[in-house]
Amino acid sequence: MTQHTHQDYMRLALLEARKSPPKPTNYCVGAILVSPSSPHPILATGYTLELPGNTHAEQCALLKLAQSMNISEEHVGSIMPEDTVLYTTMEPCDLRNSGNLPCTERVLLTTRNSGEHKGVRKVYIGVKEPEKFVGENKGRKKLEDAGVEVIHVPGLEDEILNVATAGHVQAEAEEEEQ
């Protein structure tokens, strides 16, 4: 069995991010739920706007895992292996302008409704969220304050930000031309 590194999983999350439709109002983010000890370690993947409803990458991965197990997203943590971790190209959001539940809250729900050791207890991030849409993102602090470890995986920051802001650059260039 091949051992995957944190870089490997972050690269897979980046591949998911590349599937996101570029828009000036969203970041293109990818996320992967992983259970390193499982025979098939990738439990679910997601990317921004993959599912209907202005969805974020983490939200899509959690929803897809819940749907695959025929359980509500609210209780998805109860069916996760104890070593489930989340890889996401960008720090989970703590504020949603759309009114959707922030991804930080979704991650914390996996721990609240699942028993002592289940749910997502580690989140690996590629970059912090830029302050463009909601100002300073307090997602990392909120997760850490709740006992979820947040770990930066270095080395892909430039590539992640280029993918994340693909729709922004084009929109800003168009505005400058007008």
Alpha carbon distance 139, 108 (integer Å)? 11
pLDDT, residue 76, reads 93
pLDDT at 60 over 80: yes
Alpha carbon distance 18, 12 (integer Å)? 10
pLDDT, residue 176, reads 44
Catalytic positions are 58
pLDDT, residue 133, reads 58
The reply to whether CATH 3.40.140.10 applies to domain 6-154 is yes
Confidence of residue 1 (pLDDT cuts 50, 70, 90): very low
Query: pTM to 2 decimals?
Result: 0.89
pLDDT, residue 172, reads 43
> Per the structure block, which two tokens stand in for 131?
């302050």
* pLDDT, tens digit, 9 for 90 and up, residues 72-120: 998 999 999 999 999 999 999 988 776 789 999 999 999 886 666 689 9
Domain ranges of the chain: 6-154
Closest CA to 124 of 93, 150, 90: 150
